[in-house]
Homo-oligomer: A and B are copies of this chain.
Amino acid sequence: MTTHTNLNKQWKLKARPVGEPTLENWDYNEAEVPSIGDGELLVKVLYVSLDPAMRGWLNDAKSYIEPVQIGDVMRAGTVGQVIESKHDGFSEGDFVVGYAGVQQYAVSDGKGLHKVDPALAPLSTYLGVLGMPGMTGYFGLLKSGEPKSGETVVVSGAAGAVGGLVGQIAKIKGCRVVGIAGGEDKCKFLIDELGFDAAIDYKNENVKKALKEACPKGVDVFFDNVGGQILDDVLTQINFKARIVICGAISQYNNTTPVKGPSNYLSLLVNRARMEGIVVFDNVKEYPIAMKEIGGWIQSGQLKVKEHIVEGIETFPDTLMMLFKGENFGKLILKVGEQQ
Protein backbone atom coordinates (compact mmCIF):
# COMPACT_ATOMS: atom_id res chain seq x y z
CA MET A 1 0.00 0.00 0.00
CA THR A 2 1.24 3.44 -0.98
CA THR A 3 1.54 6.04 1.73
CA HIS A 4 -0.22 9.34 1.37
CA THR A 5 -0.77 12.41 3.48
CA ASN A 6 -3.81 12.20 5.66
CA LEU A 7 -5.60 15.20 4.20
CA ASN A 8 -7.93 15.31 1.23
CA LYS A 9 -8.31 18.93 0.19
CA GLN A 10 -11.52 19.44 -1.69
CA TRP A 11 -13.95 22.10 -2.91
CA LYS A 12 -17.65 21.64 -2.37
CA LEU A 13 -20.58 23.62 -3.72
CA LYS A 14 -21.88 25.78 -0.88
CA ALA A 15 -24.50 27.88 -2.67
CA ARG A 16 -25.64 28.18 -6.26
CA PRO A 17 -24.14 31.26 -7.88
CA VAL A 18 -26.28 34.04 -9.27
CA GLY A 19 -24.07 35.48 -11.98
CA GLU A 20 -20.36 34.92 -11.52
CA PRO A 21 -19.34 32.22 -9.06
CA THR A 22 -17.40 33.84 -6.22
CA LEU A 23 -15.64 32.54 -3.11
CA GLU A 24 -19.02 32.69 -1.34
CA ASN A 25 -20.28 29.84 -3.50
CA TRP A 26 -17.59 27.39 -2.49
CA ASP A 27 -16.70 25.48 0.64
CA TYR A 28 -13.05 24.60 1.07
CA ASN A 29 -12.73 21.40 3.06
CA GLU A 30 -9.94 19.24 4.36
CA ALA A 31 -11.32 15.76 4.86
CA GLU A 32 -9.73 12.49 5.86
CA VAL A 33 -8.51 10.47 2.93
CA PRO A 34 -11.21 7.84 2.58
CA SER A 35 -10.58 4.14 2.93
CA ILE A 36 -11.75 1.64 0.38
CA GLY A 37 -13.82 -1.51 0.52
CA ASP A 38 -13.89 -4.62 -1.63
CA GLY A 39 -14.32 -3.81 -5.31
CA GLU A 40 -13.14 -0.26 -4.80
CA LEU A 41 -9.98 1.68 -5.50
CA LEU A 42 -8.41 4.92 -4.32
CA VAL A 43 -7.39 7.52 -6.89
CA LYS A 44 -4.89 10.25 -6.20
CA VAL A 45 -5.95 13.13 -8.41
CA LEU A 46 -3.11 14.74 -10.38
CA TYR A 47 -4.86 17.10 -12.80
CA VAL A 48 -8.33 18.67 -12.67
CA SER A 49 -9.94 19.88 -15.86
CA LEU A 50 -11.50 23.35 -15.75
CA ASP A 51 -14.13 23.83 -18.44
CA PRO A 52 -16.80 26.42 -19.26
CA ALA A 53 -19.44 23.69 -19.04
CA MET A 54 -18.87 23.55 -15.28
CA ARG A 55 -20.79 26.80 -14.91
CA GLY A 56 -23.89 25.10 -16.28
CA TRP A 57 -23.59 22.24 -13.82
CA LEU A 58 -24.05 24.74 -10.98
CA ASN A 59 -27.55 25.73 -12.09
CA ASP A 60 -30.54 23.90 -10.74
CA ALA A 61 -32.02 23.42 -14.22
CA LYS A 62 -32.86 20.61 -16.59
CA SER A 63 -29.85 20.07 -18.80
CA TYR A 64 -27.87 17.31 -20.50
CA ILE A 65 -26.47 16.27 -17.12
CA GLU A 66 -27.67 16.44 -13.50
CA PRO A 67 -26.75 19.62 -11.64
CA VAL A 68 -24.13 19.40 -8.90
CA GLN A 69 -25.95 19.37 -5.59
CA ILE A 70 -25.28 21.74 -2.70
CA GLY A 71 -22.73 20.08 -0.40
CA ASP A 72 -21.27 17.87 -3.13
CA VAL A 73 -17.62 17.95 -4.10
CA MET A 74 -17.56 19.95 -7.34
CA ARG A 75 -17.76 17.71 -10.40
CA ALA A 76 -14.72 17.86 -12.68
CA GLY A 77 -12.88 15.72 -15.17
CA THR A 78 -9.63 14.42 -13.74
CA VAL A 79 -6.49 12.43 -14.41
CA GLY A 80 -5.20 10.52 -11.47
CA GLN A 81 -3.21 7.55 -10.30
CA VAL A 82 -4.52 4.47 -8.53
CA ILE A 83 -2.70 4.30 -5.21
CA GLU A 84 -4.67 1.47 -3.62
CA SER A 85 -6.93 -1.11 -5.22
CA LYS A 86 -9.31 -3.84 -4.13
CA HIS A 87 -10.80 -3.86 -7.64
CA ASP A 88 -9.93 -6.60 -10.13
CA GLY A 89 -9.77 -4.20 -13.07
CA PHE A 90 -7.29 -1.71 -11.66
CA SER A 91 -3.85 -2.02 -10.07
CA GLU A 92 -1.80 0.32 -7.94
CA GLY A 93 0.12 2.65 -10.22
CA ASP A 94 -2.45 2.69 -13.03
CA PHE A 95 -3.24 6.10 -14.49
CA VAL A 96 -6.94 6.80 -14.92
CA VAL A 97 -9.21 9.48 -16.32
CA GLY A 98 -12.69 10.05 -14.98
CA TYR A 99 -14.75 12.47 -12.96
CA ALA A 100 -13.12 12.38 -9.55
CA GLY A 101 -14.03 16.03 -8.87
CA VAL A 102 -12.15 18.97 -7.42
CA GLN A 103 -10.31 17.09 -4.68
CA GLN A 104 -7.05 15.28 -4.08
CA TYR A 105 -8.30 11.77 -3.43
CA ALA A 106 -11.38 9.87 -4.49
CA VAL A 107 -12.80 6.43 -3.95
CA SER A 108 -14.18 4.73 -7.02
CA ASP A 109 -15.90 1.47 -7.91
CA GLY A 110 -14.28 1.72 -11.32
CA LYS A 111 -17.37 2.93 -13.17
CA GLY A 112 -16.58 5.75 -15.56
CA LEU A 113 -12.84 5.33 -15.01
CA HIS A 114 -10.58 4.58 -17.96
CA LYS A 115 -6.91 3.67 -17.92
CA VAL A 116 -4.60 5.85 -19.95
CA ASP A 117 -0.98 5.38 -20.99
CA PRO A 118 1.44 8.19 -20.06
CA ALA A 119 3.93 6.79 -22.58
CA LEU A 120 1.60 7.64 -25.48
CA ALA A 121 0.84 11.24 -24.46
CA PRO A 122 1.47 13.53 -21.46
CA LEU A 123 -1.11 12.88 -18.75
CA SER A 124 -2.62 16.38 -18.94
CA THR A 125 -3.42 15.78 -22.61
CA TYR A 126 -6.11 13.34 -21.57
CA LEU A 127 -8.06 16.30 -20.20
CA GLY A 128 -7.47 18.34 -23.34
CA VAL A 129 -7.07 17.24 -26.95
CA LEU A 130 -7.45 13.58 -26.00
CA GLY A 131 -10.20 14.34 -23.48
CA MET A 132 -13.57 16.01 -23.34
CA PRO A 133 -12.59 19.22 -25.17
CA GLY A 134 -10.85 17.19 -27.86
CA MET A 135 -13.82 14.93 -28.43
CA THR A 136 -16.14 17.96 -28.39
CA GLY A 137 -14.17 19.77 -31.05
CA TYR A 138 -13.52 16.73 -33.20
CA PHE A 139 -17.09 15.44 -33.40
CA GLY A 140 -18.72 18.86 -33.27
CA LEU A 141 -16.73 20.13 -36.21
CA LEU A 142 -16.71 17.01 -38.34
CA LYS A 143 -20.24 15.72 -37.68
CA SER A 144 -22.23 18.95 -37.31
CA GLY A 145 -19.99 21.47 -39.06
CA GLU A 146 -19.22 19.15 -41.98
CA PRO A 147 -16.40 21.35 -43.32
CA LYS A 148 -15.42 20.83 -46.93
CA SER A 149 -12.05 21.65 -48.44
CA GLY A 150 -11.99 25.25 -49.64
CA GLU A 151 -14.74 26.42 -47.32
CA THR A 152 -14.31 29.14 -44.71
CA VAL A 153 -14.55 28.06 -41.07
CA VAL A 154 -14.83 30.60 -38.27
CA VAL A 155 -14.32 29.58 -34.65
CA SER A 156 -14.92 31.67 -31.54
CA GLY A 157 -13.06 31.12 -28.29
CA ALA A 158 -10.32 30.15 -30.70
CA ALA A 159 -7.49 30.20 -28.19
CA GLY A 160 -9.40 27.95 -25.81
CA ALA A 161 -9.23 24.20 -25.45
CA VAL A 162 -11.94 23.38 -27.96
CA GLY A 163 -11.45 26.33 -30.32
CA GLY A 164 -7.75 25.79 -30.90
CA LEU A 165 -8.34 22.18 -31.83
CA VAL A 166 -11.33 22.94 -34.07
CA GLY A 167 -9.35 25.49 -36.06
CA GLN A 168 -6.43 23.15 -36.54
CA ILE A 169 -8.65 20.27 -37.65
CA ALA A 170 -10.39 22.60 -40.11
CA LYS A 171 -6.97 23.52 -41.52
CA ILE A 172 -6.10 19.83 -41.87
CA LYS A 173 -9.38 19.45 -43.81
CA GLY A 174 -8.29 22.14 -46.26
CA CYS A 175 -10.43 25.05 -45.06
CA ARG A 176 -9.70 28.74 -44.69
CA VAL A 177 -9.75 29.21 -40.91
CA VAL A 178 -10.50 32.41 -39.03
CA GLY A 179 -10.28 32.52 -35.23
CA ILE A 180 -11.94 34.99 -32.90
CA ALA A 181 -10.12 35.52 -29.60
CA GLY A 182 -9.47 38.22 -27.03
CA GLY A 183 -6.19 40.12 -27.21
CA GLU A 184 -3.26 40.59 -29.53
CA ASP A 185 -1.17 37.79 -28.04
CA LYS A 186 -3.83 35.18 -28.58
CA CYS A 187 -4.47 36.35 -32.14
CA LYS A 188 -0.77 36.27 -32.98
CA PHE A 189 -0.56 32.78 -31.50
CA LEU A 190 -3.47 31.53 -33.62
CA ILE A 191 -1.75 32.64 -36.81
CA ASP A 192 1.91 32.05 -35.98
CA GLU A 193 1.67 28.88 -33.95
CA LEU A 194 -1.58 27.17 -34.93
CA GLY A 195 -1.53 28.16 -38.60
CA PHE A 196 -4.90 29.96 -38.73
CA ASP A 197 -5.36 32.11 -41.85
CA ALA A 198 -6.63 35.10 -39.90
CA ALA A 199 -7.55 36.08 -36.37
CA ILE A 200 -9.95 38.68 -35.01
CA ASP A 201 -9.34 40.34 -31.66
CA TYR A 202 -12.86 40.89 -30.37
CA LYS A 203 -11.59 43.06 -27.55
CA ASN A 204 -10.03 45.59 -29.90
CA GLU A 205 -11.72 45.16 -33.28
CA ASN A 206 -15.16 45.65 -34.79
CA VAL A 207 -15.94 41.96 -35.25
CA LYS A 208 -18.49 42.40 -38.04
CA LYS A 209 -16.16 44.56 -40.09
CA ALA A 210 -13.17 42.33 -39.39
CA LEU A 211 -15.18 39.27 -40.45
CA LYS A 212 -15.97 40.87 -43.80
CA GLU A 213 -12.27 41.35 -44.42
CA ALA A 214 -11.15 38.00 -43.08
CA CYS A 215 -13.90 36.04 -44.87
CA PRO A 216 -14.12 37.52 -48.38
CA LYS A 217 -16.09 34.48 -49.51
CA GLY A 218 -18.41 34.51 -46.49
CA VAL A 219 -18.68 31.97 -43.68
CA ASP A 220 -19.59 28.34 -44.37
CA VAL A 221 -19.09 26.91 -40.89
CA PHE A 222 -19.18 28.74 -37.58
CA PHE A 223 -18.15 26.82 -34.50
CA ASP A 224 -19.42 28.91 -31.60
CA ASN A 225 -18.14 28.69 -28.06
CA VAL A 226 -19.13 32.15 -26.89
CA GLY A 227 -22.59 33.26 -28.06
CA GLY A 228 -23.78 36.83 -27.49
CA GLN A 229 -22.81 39.62 -29.86
CA ILE A 230 -20.19 37.52 -31.66
CA LEU A 231 -22.79 34.96 -32.73
CA ASP A 232 -24.99 37.80 -33.97
CA ASP A 233 -22.11 39.32 -35.92
CA VAL A 234 -21.20 36.05 -37.60
CA LEU A 235 -24.85 35.45 -38.55
CA THR A 236 -24.65 38.52 -40.80
CA GLN A 237 -21.83 36.93 -42.81
CA ILE A 238 -22.98 33.36 -43.36
CA ASN A 239 -23.28 31.70 -46.74
CA PHE A 240 -26.01 29.69 -48.37
CA LYS A 241 -26.39 26.39 -46.49
CA ALA A 242 -23.99 27.45 -43.74
CA ARG A 243 -23.67 25.30 -40.62
CA ILE A 244 -23.49 26.87 -37.18
CA VAL A 245 -22.35 24.56 -34.43
CA ILE A 246 -23.53 25.65 -30.98
CA CYS A 247 -20.91 24.25 -28.63
CA GLY A 248 -21.28 26.82 -25.88
CA ALA A 249 -22.03 30.42 -24.99
CA ILE A 250 -19.44 31.36 -22.40
CA SER A 251 -20.31 35.05 -22.75
CA GLN A 252 -23.77 34.30 -21.39
CA TYR A 253 -23.14 31.76 -18.63
CA ASN A 254 -22.85 34.28 -15.82
CA ASN A 255 -25.73 36.47 -16.95
CA THR A 256 -28.14 37.62 -14.33
CA THR A 257 -30.42 38.88 -17.13
CA PRO A 258 -31.86 36.53 -19.78
CA VAL A 259 -29.48 35.05 -22.33
CA LYS A 260 -29.05 37.29 -25.37
CA GLY A 261 -30.74 35.38 -28.16
CA PRO A 262 -29.32 35.78 -31.66
CA SER A 263 -31.26 38.74 -33.05
CA ASN A 264 -30.01 37.90 -36.54
CA TYR A 265 -31.30 34.32 -36.50
CA LEU A 266 -33.48 35.00 -39.55
CA SER A 267 -30.25 34.91 -41.51
CA LEU A 268 -30.75 31.14 -41.16
CA LEU A 269 -33.88 31.53 -43.25
CA VAL A 270 -32.41 33.86 -45.85
CA ASN A 271 -29.44 31.50 -46.27
CA ARG A 272 -31.21 28.18 -45.66
CA ALA A 273 -28.62 27.65 -42.97
CA ARG A 274 -28.77 25.54 -39.84
CA MET A 275 -27.80 25.98 -36.23
CA GLU A 276 -27.24 22.81 -34.27
CA GLY A 277 -26.34 22.09 -30.68
CA ILE A 278 -23.82 19.45 -29.70
CA VAL A 279 -22.88 17.64 -26.51
CA VAL A 280 -19.77 15.51 -26.42
CA PHE A 281 -21.26 12.51 -24.63
CA ASP A 282 -23.29 11.47 -27.66
CA ASN A 283 -20.18 10.14 -29.37
CA VAL A 284 -18.71 8.00 -26.60
CA LYS A 285 -18.54 4.89 -28.73
CA GLU A 286 -16.43 6.65 -31.32
CA TYR A 287 -13.95 8.26 -28.91
CA PRO A 288 -11.25 5.67 -29.72
CA ILE A 289 -11.41 6.60 -33.43
CA ALA A 290 -11.06 10.29 -32.61
CA MET A 291 -8.26 9.73 -30.10
CA LYS A 292 -6.32 7.69 -32.63
CA GLU A 293 -6.68 10.30 -35.35
CA ILE A 294 -5.87 13.23 -33.04
CA GLY A 295 -2.88 11.32 -31.63
CA GLY A 296 -1.64 10.78 -35.17
CA TRP A 297 -1.92 14.47 -36.02
CA ILE A 298 0.05 15.37 -32.88
CA GLN A 299 2.79 12.90 -33.74
CA SER A 300 3.04 14.14 -37.33
CA GLY A 301 3.27 17.73 -36.09
CA GLN A 302 0.04 18.79 -37.82
CA LEU A 303 -1.67 19.56 -34.56
CA LYS A 304 -0.22 21.58 -31.71
CA VAL A 305 -1.26 21.35 -28.10
CA LYS A 306 -1.51 24.44 -25.93
CA GLU A 307 -2.19 23.99 -22.24
CA HIS A 308 -2.48 26.47 -19.43
CA ILE A 309 -1.61 24.71 -16.21
CA VAL A 310 -2.15 26.40 -12.85
CA GLU A 311 -0.78 24.74 -9.71
CA GLY A 312 -2.53 24.25 -6.41
CA ILE A 313 -6.01 23.04 -5.52
CA GLU A 314 -6.35 26.03 -3.18
CA THR A 315 -6.59 28.34 -6.20
CA PHE A 316 -9.65 26.59 -7.68
CA PRO A 317 -12.28 29.35 -7.35
CA ASP A 318 -10.02 32.00 -8.89
CA THR A 319 -8.56 29.71 -11.51
CA LEU A 320 -12.03 28.68 -12.67
CA MET A 321 -12.89 32.35 -13.19
CA MET A 322 -10.00 32.73 -15.65
CA LEU A 323 -12.23 30.94 -18.17
CA PHE A 324 -14.97 33.56 -17.93
CA LYS A 325 -12.53 36.46 -17.94
CA GLY A 326 -10.80 35.07 -21.02
CA GLU A 327 -7.52 34.82 -19.11
CA ASN A 328 -6.63 31.25 -20.02
CA PHE A 329 -4.49 30.64 -23.05
CA GLY A 330 -5.11 27.09 -24.19
CA LYS A 331 -6.70 24.27 -22.22
CA LEU A 332 -7.02 25.31 -18.56
CA ILE A 333 -5.89 22.66 -16.10
CA LEU A 334 -5.44 22.72 -12.35
CA LYS A 335 -2.52 20.63 -11.13
CA VAL A 336 -3.36 19.24 -7.70
CA GLY A 337 -0.89 16.44 -7.11
CA GLU A 338 2.33 14.69 -8.18
CA GLN A 339 2.41 11.19 -9.53
CA GLN A 340 4.07 8.59 -7.38
Number of interface residues of A (CB under 8 A): 33
Which residues of chain A from 232 to 272 have a CB within 8 Å of any chain B CB?
232, 246-249, 252, 258-272
Knowing A274-B276, A275-B274, A275-B275 touch, does A247 contact B269 (C-beta < 8 A)? yes
Query: Which residues of chain B are within 8 angstroms of A62 by Cβ–Cβ distance?
Result: 270
A266 touches B272 (CB 8 A): no
CB < 8 Å neighbour of A273 from B266, B273, B276: B276
Interface: A63 (CB within 8 A) = yes
Query: Which residues of chain B are within 8 angstroms of A232 by Cβ–Cβ distance?
Result: 261
Of the stretches A19-27, A187-195, A277-285, A292-300, the one at the interface is A277-285
A246 touches B268 (CB 8 A): yes
Chain copies in the assembled complex: 2
Query: Which residues of chain B are within 8 angstroms of A273 by Cβ–Cβ distance?
Result: 276-277
Knowing A260-B261, A261-B232, A261-B260 touch, does A276 contact B266 (C-beta < 8 A)? no
Annotate A210-235 by CB proximity to B: 1 below 8 A, 0 otherwise: 00000000000000000100001000
B276 touches A268 (CB 8 A): yes
B279 touches A275 (CB 8 A): no
A272 touches B278 (CB 8 A): yes
A272 touches B277 (CB 8 A): yes
A261 touches B264 (CB 8 A): yes
Query: Which residues of chain B are within 8 angstroms of A248 by Cβ–Cβ distance?
Result: 269
B260 touches A263 (CB 8 A): yes
B275 touches A268 (CB 8 A): yes
Report the minimum CB–CB distance from A250 to chain B (whole Å): 11
Residue of B with least CB distance to A268: B277
Report the minimum CB–CB distance from A276 to chain B (whole Å): 4
Residue of B with least CB distance to A281: B272
Query: Which residues of chain B are within 8 angstroms of A261 by Cβ–Cβ distance?
Result: 232, 260-265
Query: Which residues of chain B are within 8 angstroms of A259 by Cβ–Cβ distance?
Result: 263-266
B272 touches A279 (CB 8 A): yes
Residue of B with least CB distance to A276: B274
Query: Which residues of chain B are within 8 angstroms of A276 by Cβ–Cβ distance?
Result: 268, 272-275
Given contacts A248-B269, A258-B263, 17 further A-B contacts (CB under 8 A): A64-B270, A64-B272, A232-B261, A246-B269, A249-B269, A259-B265, A260-B263, A261-B263, A262-B265, A266-B277, A268-B275, A268-B277, A270-B277, A272-B277, A274-B276, A274-B277, A275-B275
The 9 lowest CB-CB distance pairs between A and B, nearest first, are A261-B261, A269-B277, A268-B277, A274-B276, A261-B263, A261-B262, A275-B275, A258-B263, A246-B269
